């Protein structure tokens, strides 16, 4: 079992550009949540996908969007990148959005210059 996998591991983008991050959930999991973790902070919830639909959304602007595919994998898209978007982006998967336990991927370190 490969667990939760994310790609790429590191990324450098220029302010104003767009970025797409990818996540494959743990085998048997159908729910994917995305988090932003700034340096020295706890993960902040961005949104959650289940059955290819966004179920819940945290306090993030519309520049942050996502998608879930029929195989449960997911993408996070960020448009018009700002310097403040630099962070570790974590994906977590769980079985059923009602479940408590979530498994995290290793994250994508995004640096906006």
Partner 1 sequence: GENVEQHPSTLSVQEGDSAVIKCTYSDSASNYFPWYKQELGKRPQLIIDIRSNVGEKKDQRIAVTLNKTAKHFSLHITETQPEDSAVYFCAAQTASGGSYIPTFGRGTSLIVHP
Smallest gap, in angstroms, from Cβ of residue 17 to partner 1? Answer: 25
Instruction: Indicate the SS3 state at residue 83.
Output: helix
- Paired residues of 87 in beta bridges: 110
Residue 104 engages partner 1 in binding (rule: CB under 8 A): yes
**How far is 21 from 8, CA to CA, in rounded Å?**
7
User: What's the 3-state SS for 28-57?
Assistant: CCCEEEEEEECCCCCCEEEEEEECCEEEEE
Smallest gap, in angstroms, from Cβ of residue 15 to partner 1? Answer: 25
Choice between 20 and 106, CB closer to partner 1: 106
Among 28, 42, 70, 84, binds partner 1 (CB under 8 A): 42
Residues that bind partner 1 (CB under 8 A): 4, 33, 40-45, 48, 50, 55-56, 58, 90, 97-107
């Amino acid at each position: 079992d490969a667990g939760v996998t994310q790609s790429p591991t590191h990324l450098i983008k220029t302010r104003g550009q767009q970025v797409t991050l990818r996540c494959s959930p743990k085998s048997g999991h159908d729910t994917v949540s995305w988090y932003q973790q700034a340096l020295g902070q706890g993960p902040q919830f961005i949104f959650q996908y289940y059955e290819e639909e966004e179920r819940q959304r945290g306090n993030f602007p519309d520049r942050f969007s996502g998608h879930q595919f029929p195989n449960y994998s997911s993408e996070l898209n960020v448009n018009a990148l700002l310097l403040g978007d630099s962070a570790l982006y974590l994906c977590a998967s769980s079985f059923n959005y009602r479940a408590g336990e979530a498994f995290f991927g290793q994250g994508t370190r995004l640096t906006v210059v």
